[in-house]
């Protein structure tokens, strides 16, 4: 992703238009991933942790329930409102509404910075320096994303054809996107290359996790509608497409395969 543009900022805040729907539509993250991140970061000794782009708390709860003290930085007040409600019984979670690019960590440094499904929204010109500034020496970075795939290939073709009938392209990185996801692995991946180019990170690693999730028509439409590529489509064009997608799924329960991509690294010692 290139420099931050007005269009990128618009899409970054599109999720807050219906924060509750986003929260209901998106799957969470594998427990094994949480285990691996905490093991890499040194367990609760990684506290305080910093979550960038916390959204409605899909990852927050998984880490907070392991006893981790977390500061969540979320740029959208509407998303942060849902996040606060979900974390109401977790006093070790603090929510701050701010863009990570301008958020000030103060004198406190963190042992772990993690970001779920949001690192690509942070300005590429600032994100790695900002991460290093927020972390202690040897602090851990964990960046992860879910990639969604519809297991039923016939249904996928039907839903793709519905987009064509409505004159709409399939947005990138969504359930029906035919392009490979993740596109690159290990040292060929953009995140790996950017951390190497920055020069401030070591012990870089890339891991993949696969899980399967049953979804009804409402679940499929909810997942699709939660993506910014669909949210920025005019509602008068988007809603008829989503209605047709729900009719095509019908009363079936279908399987969504989720591949979660995790990048790990540590800041260099001084």
Q: Is residue 249 part of a domain?
A: yes
pLDDT of residue 235: 95
pLDDT of residue 270: 64
Residue 162 has pLDDT above 50, yes or no: yes
Q: Supply 136's token pair.
A: 């202690």
pLDDT tens digits for range 18-40: 567 778 788 899 999 999 999 99
Q: Is residue 186 part of a domain?
A: yes
Residue 111 has pLDDT above 50, yes or no: yes
Q: Is residue 1 part of a domain?
A: no
Give alpha helix (H) positions in the chain. 6-12, 19-25, 31-41, 60-64, 77-86, 127-134, 153-165, 190-198, 217-225, 228-231, 235-249
Output the average pLDDT for the chain.
Answer: 92
pLDDT tens digits for range 236-261: 999 999 999 999 999 999 999 999 99
| Residue among 133, 115, 104, 102 nearest 52 (CA) | 115
Q: Is residue 149 part of a domain?
A: yes
Whole-angstrom CA distances from 191 to 60, 125, 219 are 22, 13, 30
**Rounded-to-integer distance, Cα 157 and Cα 26, Å:** 22
For 205, the 3-state DSSP assignment is: strand
Residue 207 has pLDDT above 50, yes or no: yes
pLDDT of residue 151: 96
Using pLDDT thresholds of 50, 70 and 90, give the confidence band for residue 50: very high
Phi and psi at residue 70, in whole multiples of 5°?
Answer: -135, 135
- Domain, as residue range, for 145: 6-267
Residue 44 has pLDDT above 90, yes or no: no
Q: Is residue 147 part of a domain?
A: yes
pLDDT of residue 107: 80
Residue 212 has pLDDT above 80, yes or no: yes
| Residue among 10, 143, 22 nearest 81 (CA) | 22
**Any idea which residue has 């927020």 for tokens?**
134
Q: For residues 71-100, give the mean pLDDT.
A: 96
Work out the percent of the chain whose per-residue pLDDT is above 70: 93
Using pLDDT thresholds of 50, 70 and 90, give the confidence band for residue 157: very high
Domains of the chain: total: 1
pLDDT of residue 15: 46
pLDDT tens digits for range 64-75: 999 999 999 999
Work out the percent of the chain whose per-residue pLDDT is above 90: 86
| Residue among 239, 220, 243 nearest 230 (CA) | 239
By CB atoms closer than 10 A (0-12, 13-18, 19+), residue 187 is exposed
In the chain, what is the greatest distance between 2 CA atoms, to the nearest angstrom? 58
pLDDT of residue 9: 47
| Residue among 107, 110, 9 nearest 52 (CA) | 110
Read off the CATH number of the domain in which 159 is found.
3.40.50.150
Q: Is residue 76 part of a domain?
A: yes
Residue 1 has pLDDT above 50, yes or no: no
DSSP-assigned beta bridge partners for residue 52? 73
Phi and psi at residue 266, in whole multiples of 5°?
Answer: -125, 150
pLDDT tens digits for range 129-138: 999 999 999 9
Q: Is residue 24 part of a domain?
A: yes
């Amino acid at each position: 992703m290139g420099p931050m543009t007005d269009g990128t900022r618009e899409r970054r805040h599109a999720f807050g238009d219906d924060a509750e729907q986003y929260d209901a539509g998106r799957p969470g993250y594998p427990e094994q991933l949480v285990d691996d991140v905490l093991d890499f970061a040194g367990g609760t000794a990684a506290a305080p942790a910093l979550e960038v782009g916390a959204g409605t708390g899909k990852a927050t709860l998984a880490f907070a329930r392991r006893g981790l003290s977390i500061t969540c930085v979320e740029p959208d007040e509407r998303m942060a409102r849902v996040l606060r409600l979900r974390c109401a019984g977790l006093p070790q979670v603090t929510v701050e509404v701010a863009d990570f690019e301008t958020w000030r960590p103060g004198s406190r440094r963190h042992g772990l910075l993690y970001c779920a499904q949001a690192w690509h929204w942070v300005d590429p010109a600032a994100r790695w320096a900002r991460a290093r500034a927020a972390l202690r020496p040897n602090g851990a970075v964990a960046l992860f994303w879910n990639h969604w795939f519809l297991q039923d290939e016939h249904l996928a073709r039907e839903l793709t054809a519905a987009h064509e009938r409505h004159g709409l392209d399939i947005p990138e990185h969504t359930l029906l996107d035919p392009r490979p996801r993740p596109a690159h692995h290990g040292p060929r991946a953009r995140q790996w290359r950017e951390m190497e180019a920055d020069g401030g990170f070591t012990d870089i690693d890339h891991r993949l996790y696969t899980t399967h999730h049953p979804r009804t028509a409402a679940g499929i439409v909810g997942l699709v509608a939660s993506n910014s590529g669909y949210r920025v489509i005019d509602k008068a064009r988007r809603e008829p497409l989503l209605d047709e997608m729900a009719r095509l799924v019908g009363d079936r329960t279908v399987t969504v395969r989720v591949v979660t991509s995790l990048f790990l690294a540590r800041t260099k010692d001084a």
